A and B are shown apart, each in its own frame.
Chain A
Amino acid sequence: MRIAGKGPGDPARKVRFTFDGRVVEGIEGDTVASALLANGVRLMGRSFKYHRPRGVVTAGSDEPNALVTVGRGAAQVPNVRATVQEISEGLEVRSQNRWPSLAWDAMEVNDVAWPFLSAGFYYKTFMGRPGLWEKLFEPLIRRAAGLGALSGEAARDDSSRAFAFCDLLVIGAGPAGLMAALTAGRAGADVMLLDEQVRPGGRLLDEDCAVGGLPGADWVAQAVAELDALPNVRRMARTTVTGAYDGGTYGALQRGAPGARVPETFWRIVARRALLSAGALERSIAFRDNDRPGIMVAGAVRSFLHRYGVVPGRSVALFCNNDDAHRTARDLAAAGVRIAAVIDTRLGIATDADWPVLAGAEVIGTSGRLGLEEVTVRQGDRIRHVRTDVLAVSGGWNPAVHLTCHMNARPVWDESIAAFVPPKGAVPGLSVAGAAAGVFSTRDALTGGAEGAAAALGEIGIDAALPEIPEAEDAPYVIAPHWLVPGKGRAWLDLQNDVTVKDVRLAAQENLRSVEHMKRYTTQGMATDQGKGSNVNALAVLADATGRGIPETGTTTFRPPYTPVSIAAMGAGAQGAGFAPQRFTTSDAQSRRMGAPMVEAGLWYRPSYFPKAGEATWREACDREATMVRTTVGVCDVSTLGKIDLQGPDAGAFLDFVYTNTFSTLKEGRVRYGLMLREDGHVMDDGTTARLGPRHFVMTTTTAAAGAVMKHLDFVQQVLRPELDVRFCSVTEQWAQFAVAGPRSRQLVNRLLETPVDNDSFPYMACGAVTVAGVAGRLFRISFSGEHAYEVAVPARYGESLFRLLVAEAEALEGGAYGMEALNVLRLEKGHITHAEIHGRTTAFDIGMDRMIAPAKDCIGKTMAARPGLLGEAREQMVGLRPVRRDGRFTAGAFLFAEDAPADSDHQQGYLTSVGHSPALGHALALGFLRNGRARMGERLRMVDHLRGVETLCVVSDPVAFDPEGGRLRG
Chain B
Amino acid sequence: MNGTSWADEPVELELNTPQLVFDQDGVKVFVEYKINEEGRKVKVTKKIQNKVIKHSVIKSVAERKAWQKFGEERGKPPGPSTTTTTVGDHVNLKLFQWGDVKDEEAELLEKKKEATVNHIKCKYCKGNHFSAKCPYKDSLKNLEDIVGPSAGAGADSGAPASPLVSGKDAGPQKSAYVPPHRKNPNSARDTSYERSEDLPTIRLTNLPPDTREPDIQNLVRPFGSISRIFLAKDRETGLCKGYSFISFDSRQSAENAINKLHRHGFGNLILNAEWSGNSK
- Determine if chain A interacts with chain B: no
Interface residues of chain A, those whose CB is within 8 Å of chain B, are: none
